[in-house]
Amino acid sequence: MRMGLTQLTVAVAAALGAVTIGSIGVTTAAELSLRHVVQQETRSLTTLAVANTLEKSVLDLETGLRGYLLTDQPRFLQPYRFALAAYPGQARSLKALTAGSPAQQARAAAITSAIGVYVRDYTRPLIRQARAGHLAAARSPRATGAGKARVDAIRARFAALTQADVRAAAANARSAHHLRSLVLVAGIGSMVLAAAAFVAISFAVRRTVAIPLRRLAGAAGQVTAGELSVRVPAGGVAEVGELASRFNAMTDSLSLQRTELEAQKAELEAQQVQLEESFVALEERKGHAELLQRFGARLAAVSGVSEVSTAALKEFGDAARAEAGALYLFDERTGTFPLTARRGTAAEDVPGVVREGDGLAGLALAERRPVTVSHDQATVPTVGINGRRSAVQELHLPLRHGDRLVGVVSVGRFRDEPFTGPDLEVLGDLAHHAAVACAEAQSQRAVERVAAELAAVLAATDEGFCVIDKVGLVTMANRAALDQTGYARDELLGHSAHDILHHAGADGGPGPDPDCPITRIMRSRTGGRVEDQVFWRRDGSSFPVEYAAYPLSDGDQLTGAVISFRDVSGRKLAARHRDVRHAVTRVLAETASVEEARPRVLAAMCEGLGLDVGLAWGLADQGSRLTRLASYAADGHADLAARLGDMDLAAWEGPAGVAQARLEPALFQDLDAQAARPGLRPDPRLHSAAAFPVISSEGRSIGVLEFFSHRAIATDGLADTLSTVAAQLAHYAERKRAEVQAQRMRDEFVSTVSHELRTPLTSISGWLHILLGGEPGPLTDEQRRFLHTIERNSDRLMRLVGDLLLAGQIESGRLQLDVEDLDLAEIARETAGLLSAQAAAKRIALTVEAPESVVVHGDRARLGQVLDNLVGNAIKFTPEDGQVRVGVDHADGTCRVTVSDTGIGIPADERPKLFQRFYRASSATRQAIGGTGLGLAISKAIAESHDGTIHLADHDGPGTVFVLELPLATREEAHI
């Protein structure tokens, strides 16, 4: 077991410590002795000083006392007093200083005691004696001598004390010298020992510590230089040996680690290579991203579908390194993809429109994938870009935005460089960007188009539109809104719609905002319509309005409302005017003549338009004057109407005269009485007037209508109504005139026809009559029979002419009756009498069953004609030996004539047609029974014109029964 560095150090330190402690001990002991000696010396000196002070005090006592006694002046007693006060303290100090030496202390105590005695027994009694006036005694030599003796004794004691003290001090000094020598010897010895110990220690340390450490340092240097195989011997002190072995272990470990590090380094180098490759890839990606970004920026810099698609195609072509290109965008309206941009091609070289599945671009669209083609390899004829000429490589990429096909872009390279996968990757991204940009541009265009259309609609419509925000401020107002309200746009925008347009109700009362229907509608979140309210114009007037409000919201948030409104004052007035026009039309339709129509037209217009007086004027004196034809007065205006209408008017006199002179409507508001009529006194009921001429189609006035009102006449629509009514009246008047003329022409025609027919008949029947009268000469039977045949047919022709004329009259509604009270029974008998010959010719029994008299109100000739027709028919249609019966009776105010026969009857299906004009029963035509087919129709018309009827009675048995019913004149008359 080697001695360790610690043990070595401890041993060396112990040796050095022992030497040091020894020298210190000797020195300390000497020092302590020396200090004691010095103290003794000091004390001796102090004792001497104190003793001297005390001795001086004793001398002060003696001298002070002596001075006082000699001079008797108290001031000489002063040193005595001081010394008397000081000496006890000095005595105590002396006592303390002498404490170390009993001999000295005894001497000090004796001195102190002697002083006390001197003071007590000598000085004080002398002083008291002197003060008592016994100076002389005090000054006596005995007294002074005694004192001197005492003091000398005390001073002797002091001398003894001082001498003893000096002796002690000398002894002290000797002791001190001895001690100093001792200390010097001890110091030198210890220094020699210490130097020896240092040399020994240095040697030992060099051998056991420094050398091994230097070796170690060298080895460490080698290790640092990379030489890891070096090892050091484990010599030296224990710690150094351990250090060496640790060092060896460390180098072992280091060399192991170096091996690992080299492996890691190789790996790192491999990774670096990879990193560099990644960096290259990243650079590519960066370039790609920059391309996309630039592409996006270029597209963002332009707007409009055409510009965007052109820019997109240009960038796309640059990126594709393609010289030619075309871009097609979807058109919703046609469902096709028209060409919107091209590059490097002429318009005729590319298709103007692409359809899905049609051509290469169409294929790309249909399959939603890029289509590339090299024209060398193309196996099918394709419609490429740039025709069939020069694009050797083509790429067609669909432009997709989500699932939506936005369009297709076609690019072509003129050189033979195929489009590669990376190309397609980059271009696919660009295509996506282009699709988004084009779709946005299209959307933008669609939005702008809609916005433009909306703006145009808003500008064009006559419906007022305002948009308000949620607090009711106007944010938009269209032209019609401004027109209707009279505000400028700036005066509405940003202001409260309610406060401006809707602040008060129709009566002018305030319309509080919370009650406002617009507020209510907005709150309800559903649109609504409001009628019967007013809006206020800028000029302070109001107008009736109909409006609708529709809330606007953004999600759940109410953002405002749209108000659409319309001024309906015109419409309300228009409705009144329309009603008036309809009323006039109705009047004209219902009346048969202008005379009948005039007052009713005036009434309809006054009542409809709220006018008080209406006058109709006609022309007199070849149109130079107006004369009143009809008038209307509202309640309370009859007198005014009479005054206004009681004179003829010349041109320019009154509103009617003005209208007549101008040949156009005249309107007077704030009418002056003189303007109403010359010389008329003012009347509060005369406020306004309107007049208009009724102008014929030839442009001539045929009359004037004139109206007066106690309030202003609303002018809106008045001109229309007046012109409409004037036109209606003119048309009506002309129509009536035309009707009259037509009637005259018809009468003329009837006259002519009747003349033309009757004139030859006059000759025929006249000459027949003369011949049959036998005047020209006698007739043979045969001649007479022939002439009778001619006469019969002549009569028939005559009746036919009569019937035709009558039918014409009936048709035109102008059957004229010569009405009187007449006895129908009598007429029946007369008719039977006239026809009895006919009946007799067929051996028909013709009977009349009638009361004596049945009176009706009617035209004798016409009713006779009816009976003649009925009975004549019965005879005609009844075979020989038959019966014809005429019955007349009356019941319940009705006279009833029945004509029944036993003839061939009328089939049921023919009965409804029997009374139609020109209808002839089948039996009549079959049996060649003559007739015009007018008889029954005329009979029916005559019966009806007498408020009667004629019909065929249902009856059992053969034959026919006709029934004529007429009202009796009166019940009383019927019994006359």
Partner 1 sequence: MSEPSQPPVILVADDEPDVLELVGYRLSRSGFTVVEACDGEEALARALDQVPDLAVLDVMMPKLDGYELTRRLRSADATQRMPVILLTARAQESDIATGFEAGADDYLRKPFNPDELVARVRAVLGRR
Beta carbon nearer to partner 1, 134 or 814: 814
Residue tagged 């050091």 (tokens): 232
Beta carbon nearer to partner 1, 279 or 749: 749
Q: How far is CA 531 from the centre of its chain?
A: 25
Beta carbon nearer to partner 1, 145 or 760: 760
Least distance to partner 1 from the beta carbon of 594, Å?
21
Distance CA 439, CA 332 (A): 12
Beta carbon nearer to partner 1, 63 or 754: 754
Least distance to partner 1 from the beta carbon of 932, Å?
17
Sheet architecture: strand order including 961-967: 845-849, 883-891, 894-901, 961-967, 949-952
Is residue 386 exposed (0-12), middle (13-18) or buried (19+ Cβ within 10 Å)?
Answer: buried
Nearest-5° Cα angle at 501, 498 to 503: 60
Least distance to partner 1 from the beta carbon of 869, Å?
18
Contacts of residue 848, Cβ cutoff 8 Å, sequence gap at least 6: 828, 829, 832, 885, 886, 887, 888
Least distance to partner 1 from the beta carbon of 930, Å?
20
Nearest-5° Cα angle at 526, 524 to 530: 90
Beta carbon nearer to partner 1, 432 or 784: 784
The residue among 562, 570, 500 whose CA lies nearest residue 535 is 500
Least distance to partner 1 from the beta carbon of 615, Å?
34
Least distance to partner 1 from the beta carbon of 759, Å?
5
CB 671, CB 709: distance < 8 Å: no
Least distance to partner 1 from the beta carbon of 863, Å?
17
- Helix (H), strand (E) at residue 326: strand 324-329
In this structure, the strands spanning 324-329 and 337-343 are: antiparallel
Beta carbon nearer to partner 1, 292 or 768: 768
Least distance to partner 1 from the beta carbon of 769, Å?
5
Nearest-5° Cα angle at 212, 210 to 215: 105
Beta carbon nearer to partner 1, 176 or 800: 800
Least distance to partner 1 from the beta carbon of 808, Å?
10
Instruction: State the SS3 of 883-944.
Output: EEEEEEEEECCEEEEEEEECCCCCCHHHHHHCCCCCCCCHHHHHCCCCCCCCHHHHHHHHHH
Least distance to partner 1 from the beta carbon of 946, Å?
18
- Which spans of this chain sit near partner 1 (rule: CB under 8 A)? 747, 750-751, 754-767, 769-770, 773, 775, 798, 802, 805, 816, 818
Least distance to partner 1 from the beta carbon of 765, Å?
5
Distance CA 893, CA 690 (A): 55
CB 237, CB 5: distance < 8 Å: yes
Distance CA 732, CA 717 (A): 22
Beta carbon nearer to partner 1, 109 or 819: 819
Distance CA 851, CA 823 (A): 10
CB 667, CB 707: distance < 8 Å: no
Beta carbon nearer to partner 1, 189 or 802: 802
Beta carbon nearer to partner 1, 271 or 816: 816
Beta carbon nearer to partner 1, 209 or 771: 771
Least distance to partner 1 from the beta carbon of 733, Å?
24
The SS3 call for residue 341 is: strand
Backbone angles phi, psi at 233, to 5 degrees: -70, 155
Beta carbon nearer to partner 1, 694 or 938: 938
Distance CA 669, CA 675 (A): 11
Nearest-5° Cα angle at 809, 806 to 812: 150
Least distance to partner 1 from the beta carbon of 743, Å?
12
Beta carbon nearer to partner 1, 524 or 751: 751
In this structure, the strands spanning 894-901 and 961-967 are: antiparallel
